[in-house]
Homo-oligomer: A and B are copies of this chain.
Amino acid sequence: MTRDMHCTRLDPGAVLFRQGGEARRFYFVESGLIKLTRLSVDGEERVIELIRHGGTFAEAVMFMEHKRYPVTAVTVDESVVLGLSNRRLLDLLAQDGHLALRMLGQLSMRMHALVQEIESLSLHDAGYRLVNYFVGECKRSGSTSLTLDAPKRIIASRLGMTPETFSRLVQRLRGQGLIKLEGAVVTIEDLDRLRARLTAE
């Protein structure tokens, strides 16, 4: 009926919104994969975050005075997203007193992650960041292997390095017998030795 809530299926490469555009709605990911990117003046693109099933994004912007998206959102895989208008969100917040607290919690987690990212970028080298990513993904899934669910060049950008560097570092880890790589599946061979790199060195 109203247009303040709508569910859409999107092809890969579809643009949900652009950095700097007026923020009218925020999104919930039903399925698929969305990349949030930031463009520099000279057109370089950096992936800030990857959003998967169950994730929300752009919810933060709704509460700013100048409602402009700070990032561009583009689908990586075919995705189904639920969009909610600014207005609708405010209604929901009014109805449910706890929702605001839950959102504050969400944003806090997000901020925490961003702070970690900044630390990582300025205090650690690319090798560290890559290993940290592998170890982190394994911890999340509880498994000893992980699937790169986006093109490597996207992951590389997400980790703040070029595809070339990413490739070289992966090769090196392979050469040291720490990981195995079959297509998009990374298997950790020696998790302990990998973890050790994050503390010592």
The distance in angstroms between the C-alpha atoms of A195 and B65, with both chains bound, is: 25
Segment of A101-109, A137-145, A179-187 engaged in the interface with chain B: A101-109
A115 and B62 CA atoms in complex are apart in Å by 16
Query: Quick one: which of A41, A115, A117 has the most chain B CB within 10 A?
Result: A115
Given A41-B199, A105-B63, A105-B64, A48 contacting B119 (CB threshold 8 A):
yes
Of the candidate stretches A7-15, A121-129, A146-154, A170-178, the one touching chain B is: A121-129
Q: In the complex where A104-B104, A118-B46 touch, is A123 in contact with B63 (Cβ < 8 A)?
A: no
A101 to B111, CA, bound (A): 17
Given contacts A64-B105, A108-B63, contact A118 B115 (CB under 8 A): no
Residue of B nearest to A42 (CB): B201
CB-defined contacts of A62 to chain B, threshold 8 Å? 104, 108
Q: Considering the chains assembled together, what is the distance between the CA atoms of A101 and B71 in angstroms?
A: 22
A48 & B108 in contact (Cβ 8 Å cutoff): no
Within 8 A of B (CB), among A44-80: 44, 46, 48, 60-65, 70-71
A193: CB under 8 A from chain B?
no
| Assembled-state Cα–Cα distance A201/B46 (Å) | 18
Binding site for B on A (CB under 8 A): 38, 40-42, 44, 46, 48, 60-65, 70-71, 93, 97, 100-101, 103-105, 107-112, 114-119, 121-124, 160, 198-199, 201
List 17 additional A-B contacts (Cβ < 8 Å) besides A63-B104, A110-B111. A38-B118, A40-B124, A48-B118, A60-B104, A60-B111, A61-B108, A63-B105, A64-B105, A64-B108, A65-B105, A70-B115, A103-B104, A104-B104, A111-B111, A114-B114, A118-B118, A122-B160
Q: List 14 A-B contacts (CB under 8 A).
A: A46-B119, A46-B122, A60-B104, A60-B111, A63-B105, A70-B111, A71-B115, A93-B100, A100-B104, A111-B114, A114-B114, A114-B115, A121-B121, A121-B122
